[in-house]
Amino acid sequence: MGCSNCGSGGGLPGGCKNNGNCGTGGCNKLDVFDWLSGVELAPGQKKYDVIEVRFKGTRKGFFRISGGLDLHVGEVIAVESSPGYDVGVVSLTGELVKVQMKKKKVQDTIELKKVLRKATEEDITIWQEARQLEHETMHTARVLAKGVGLSMKISDVEYQGDKKKATFFYTAEDRVDFRELIRKMADSFKTRIEMRQIGARQESARLGGIGSCGRELCCSTWLTDFRSVSTSAARYQQLSLNPQKLAGQCGKLKCCLNYELDMYMEAVKDFPSPNIKLHTKKGVAYHLKTDIFKRLVYYVYDDGVAGNAPLALDLKSVNEIIAANKSGEKFDDLKDFEVEVSPVEEDTDYLNVVGQDSLTRFDTKKKRKPNRNKRKPSGKPSGNKPAENRNKPNQNNKRRKPNPKGPKPRGNGPKPSGNPKSGTAPEAKGNNNPENKGKKRPPRKPRPPKKD
């Protein structure tokens, strides 16, 4: 991002660990590398008297040196403006300025504004105060625009170096009548107001940001001409028409879709049209996709069977089959022309076997494992136990003493009732006695009433 706010005492930038001087200016927006800086001028040739000055964001201007000033890249100067003066930083000097003026179609005439002086400490103090007011002014202006009821978005504010004028950059879909808004802004900010409408791409260029590729936005670093981008650029490059992936920070299609478009359009000319079908004795094959880099074309049979595997054919074989179909000939099967595609070998130097580097590892909740050691209560009413008994030890968990009479028999059989020491056999009681079979049990006697 541009280091427009890194000025320190004396008007020199304090960053880059270069003892207060930024020799290259490589951290600014739309910088130009001066590859002629180390080349000496021819004998008798004077240095070009026009310099390039950068201001906030991507705004730059060309000014003529007056008074025999010796200016270098990175110096803070005061230049002419209307009204008053403006403060900027020298971004380019020498013969390379002529190339930039020709590129931006600026003519070297008398109408060029002049450099007044090198900025003094007072100029830099006022300039820094104006920069600190811009953020608060922008939010106040948004509130005023919302109160008036205008459908516009104020994206940036730039004060002039002497704080006599403030330029508001805004975006709007339709034409906006902001005369009432300017009156309220003039009353609130006590300065001259200028409104300037910009597009969505110019807004992204001024604000800057990081693209999906991980680099700074092209429009804020080096791109100056914004060409129109259409969806056909994505179709030629066989990209999925997903608006979320194809759109940039400005909401429009990414400018980088045009970078390799000419190469793709030139390569597609060698391939047949995707509407052409291949006729064989087995059936009709339809075009599935094209691999421009490997020069392969994939076709699939449409014989009503789901899950047919696509067949990879080289470009030479496809042209041969199309020529045979035009002459009325049909080949037996496309598998005779299939090319074996070797799988891509993955680099296994590093494998994320733990999964700690996954960005979505905290999105899914882990399932709790059931506590197998917890005993379920049997025959007891369910409910929460009182807090007093939670910390008490369970008395049922105590070990029982062994039975001196021996272990009790298990099963559904009759229990022994005799004396094990005397050796007498147990007597059968109740229904288990064969003599009591068929007899009814006598009724029980009623209990006597309780005495009060």
Tokens found for residue 198: 């910009």
Mean pLDDT for 164-190 is: 93
pLDDT tens-digit profile of 387-407?
A: 445 555 555 555 666 666 666
Contact, 274 vs 290, CB < 8 A? yes
Of 4-18, 227-241, 245-259, 351-365, the range with the lowest mean pLDDT is 4-18
Q: How far apart are CA 129 and CA 124, in angstroms?
A: 9
Q: Which amino acid is at 40?
A: E
Of 20-24, 103-107, 121-125, 309-313, the range with the lowest mean pLDDT is 20-24
What pLDDT, on the 0 to 100 scale, is given for residue 75? Answer: 93
Q: Is the pLDDT of residue 328 over 60?
A: yes
Contact, 160 vs 130, CB < 8 A? yes
Q: Is the pLDDT of residue 168 over 70?
A: yes
pTM over 0.85: no
pLDDT bucket at 303, cuts 50 / 70 / 90: low
Q: Which amino acid is at 146?
A: K
Q: Supply the CATH classification number for the domain 127-205.
A: 3.30.300
Coil/strand/helix, residue 325: helix
Tokens found for residue 114: 């002049």
Domain chopping of the chain, boundaries = 9-119, 127-205, 227-268, 278-337
Torsion angle, CA of 287/288/292/297, rounded to 10 degrees?
Answer: -50
Mean pLDDT for 82-87 is: 91
What pLDDT, on the 0 to 100 scale, is given for residue 189? Answer: 93
What pLDDT, on the 0 to 100 scale, is given for residue 91? Answer: 92
**Percent of the chain predicted with pLDDT > 90:** 41
Number of H helices, E strands in the chain: 9, 12
**Percent of the chain predicted with pLDDT > 70:** 73
| Angle of the 179-189 helix axis to the 121-148 helix axis, nearest 10 | 140
pLDDT bucket at 31, cuts 50 / 70 / 90: confident
Q: Which one, of 141, 124, 48, lies nearest residue 86 by Cα?
A: 124
Mean pLDDT for 185-211 is: 92
> DSSP letters along 119-150, please?
--HHHHHHHHHHHHHHHHHHHHHHHHHHHHT-
What pLDDT, on the 0 to 100 scale, is given for residue 76? Answer: 95
What pLDDT, on the 0 to 100 scale, is given for residue 343? Answer: 74
Of 6-15, 37-46, 80-89, 160-169, the range with the lowest mean pLDDT is 6-15
Beta bridge partners of 435: none
Q: Which amino acid is at 279?
A: H
Tokens found for residue 190: 């006590």
Alpha helices by DSSP H, listed for 190-299, are 200-207, 218-221, 231-236, 243-246, 261-268
- Residue 13 has what DSSP assignment? B
